[in-house]
A and B are shown apart, each in its own frame.
Chain A
Amino acid sequence: MSILTKGYQARQDRRRYLERTLGTLAALGILYWLGINFAKSPSQFFQASLIGLSNGVLYALIALGYTLVYGIIELINFAHGDLFMLGTVFSANFISVWFGKSHTGIAAFGIFAACLVAVMTFGASINVGIERFAYRRLRRAPKLAPLITAVGMSFILQFVGLHWNGSGQKTWNSILPNGEIKISNVTIPYTTIISVAITVPLLVLMSWIVSRTRQGKAMRATAQDQDAARLMGINVNRTISFTFALGGALAGAAGLIFQQTRGLTSYNLGYQLGLIAFTSAVMGGIGNLQGAVLGALLIGLIQGLNDGLPIGLGQQWSQTVVFSILILLMAFKPTGLLGKTVTEKV
Chain B
Amino acid sequence: MSITKKVGSKTGKPKGPKQSASQRKWAFGFILAAVVIWIFYTYIMNHLPDGMQTIVQNWFPPTALNEAMVWVIAALGLNIVVGYAGLLDLGFVAFWAIGGYSAGWFMSSFFRQVNIHILSTSPKTVPGMHISFWGVIFIGGLICAFFGLIIGAPTLRLKSDYLALVTLGFGEIIPQFFVNGSNIGGFNLTNGTQGISPVDNIGVPGRSLSPFDFSWKFFIFVLLTAFMVFMSLRLRTGRLGRAWLAIREDELAASMMGVPLMRTKLSAYAVGAFSGGIGGVAYATHVGGVFADRFNFSISIILLAMVVLGGMGNVWGVMVGALLLAWINSTGLPAFGDLVNNTFHTQINFPSYNFLLFGGALVLMMLFRREGLIPESRLKAILHEDDEPDTNTGGAE
Contact = CB atoms under 8 A, between A and B. Distances in A.
Interface in A254-290: 271, 275, 278-279, 282
Given A144-B86, A156-B355, A330-B158, A323 B301 contact: no
B118 interface: no
Nearest to B307: A148
B304 A317 contact: no
Interface stretch (B3-11, B24-32, B164-172): B164-172
Tell which of B160, B370, B395 has the most Cβ of chain A within 10 Å: B370
Tell which of B158, B176, B385 has the most Cβ of chain A within 10 Å: B176
Contacts, number: 141
Interface string B146-187: 000001001100111110111011101100110110000000
Contacts of B363: 134, 149, 152-153, 156
A194 interface: no
A151 B361 CA distance: 11
B252 interface: yes
Given A148-B304, A320-B176, A344 B360 contact: no
B382 A142 contact: yes
A158 B352 CA distance: 10
Contacts of B40: none
Contacts of B397: 142-144
A291 to B, nearest CB: 15
Contacts of B252: 346
A144 B367 contact: no
B383 interface: yes
Interface residues of B, number: 50
Nearest to A328: B154
Contacts of B135: none
Contacts of A138: 366-367
A143 B160 contact: yes
B107 interface: no
A236 B139 CA distance: 53
Contacts of A320: 172-173, 176-177, 180
A141 B356 contact: no
A163 B352 contact: yes
A137 B384 CA distance: 12
A291 B173 CA distance: 25
Contacts of B179: 316
A210 interface: no
A34 B382 CA distance: 51
Tell which of B158, B179, B356, B363 has the most Cβ of chain A within 10 Å: B363
A155 B165 contact: no
A148 B355 contact: no
Nearest to A142: B396
Given A76-B161, A327-B155, A151 B304 contact: yes
A157 B177 CA distance: 28
A145 B160 CA distance: 12
A307 to B, nearest CB: 14
Interface string A113-146: 0000000000000000000001001101111111
Nearest to B312: A144
A159 interface: yes
B165 A152 contact: no
Contact of A140 (B151, B170, B393): B393
Contacts of A319: 172-173, 176
A239 interface: no
Given A275-B172, A327-B169, A344-B159, A145 B359 contact: no
A316 B90 CA distance: 22
A331 interface: yes
B355 A330 contact: no
Nearest to A325: B169
A294 B156 CA distance: 27
Contacts of A324: 169, 173
A159 B159 CA distance: 30
Nearest to B87: A144
A154 interface: yes
Interface string A144-180: 1111110111111111001100010000000000000
A220 B177 CA distance: 41
A218 interface: no
Contact of B161 (A140, A147, A155, A323): A147
Contacts of B360: 152, 156
A62 interface: no
A327 to B, nearest CB: 5
A157 B305 CA distance: 16
Given A142-B397, A279-B169, 7 more contacts: A76-B161, A134-B366, A144-B86, A155-B301, A155-B356, A155-B359, A275-B168
The 4 closest A-B pairs by CB, nearest first: A155-B359, A152-B362, A331-B154, A323-B169
Interface of B: 86, 88, 90, 151, 154-155, 158-162, 164-166, 168-170, 172-173, 176-177, 179-180, 252, 297, 301, 304-305, 308, 352-353, 355-356, 358-363, 366-367, 370, 382-383, 385-386, 393, 395-397
16 contacts: A138-B367, A141-B370, A142-B385, A142-B397, A143-B161, A148-B366, A151-B362, A152-B366, A316-B180, A317-B180, A320-B172, A323-B170, A324-B169, A326-B169, A330-B155, A334-B162
